[in-house]
Structure 1
Amino acid sequence: MNTIAIVDYGMGNFHSVARALQAAAPDADVRICNQAHDIDQASRVVFPGQGAMPDCMRTLNESGLREAVVRAARSKPLLGVCVGEQMLFTESEEGYVPCLDIFRGQVKRFAGPQYATGAQENQEHELLKIPHMGWNRVQHVKDHALWAGIPDNSHFYFVHSYYVEPEDSDLTVGVSHYGIGFTCAIAAANIFAVQFHPEKSAEHGLRLYRNFVDWRP
Structure 2
Amino acid sequence: MGVDGVHRRARRRSIGLKAAVSNVLARGHRPGKPNSRGRAVIVDRTKEEEWARFASACPGTTQVLRIDQSAEVSLDPLRLYVEDSPKVAARFCESFLTLLLGVKPMDLESVALSEAVQAVLERPDPTTHALMDELVLRGGEDTAARNLAHKLKAVARKDLAAAVFDDTLPVVDTAPATTASSSSSTLSPCRRRASSPPTTASSARSSRRSWAAH
Instruction: Assess same fold via TM > 0.5.
Output: no
Greater share of residues in strand? 1
Greater relative contact order, per chain length (Cα 8 Å cut-off, separation 6+): 2
Structure with max Cα Rg: 2
Greater share of residues in helix? 2
TM-score, normalisation: structure 2: 0.29
TM-score, normalisation: structure 1: 0.29
